[in-house]
Amino acid sequence: MELAGTKCTAAYLCQMALDGYTLKMELPELQELVSLLRRSSGNLNQIAKRVTSTGRIYDTDIEELLRSQERLWAAANDLLTRLTPLK
């Protein structure tokens, strides 16, 4: 259970009963994706507040949102490509 990196006995036993093994994956790519998602949602929230208060949206805001979405999609595609062989 310690090697699998779990502290929950019930979760460990369920996993072992269902699959007969546990898989511990360390994915820095997933951590990067989560970080990008947090930053993107923060930026979007700031832009939404500004639009609500001023009634205007700027081209630079839209361009930043598009760049952020492109980075997110690229990171997600990279992660999915790496995980596909594990099926």
The domain ranges of the chain are 26-86
Separation between Cα atoms, residue 65 and residue 72, nearest integer Å: 10
Q: What is the pLDDT of residue 23?
A: 65
pTM of the model as a whole: 0.59
SS (H, E, C) the chain: CCCCCCCCHHHHHHHHHHHCCCCCCCCHHHHHHHHHHHHHHHHHHHHHHHHHHHCCCCHHHHHHHHHHHHHHHHHHHHHHHHHHHHC
Which pLDDT does position 12 carry in this prediction?
81
**What pLDDT, on a 0 to 100 scale, did the predictor assign at position 22?**
66
CA dist 77 → 28, 46, 49, 59, 65 (Å): 14, 27, 30, 27, 18
Question: Residue 87: what pLDDT?
Answer: 62
pLDDT tens, N- to C-terminus, the chain (87 residues): 777 777 888 888 887 888 776 666 777 888 888 888 898 889 889 999 999 999 998 899 889 889 989 988 998 888 888 888 876
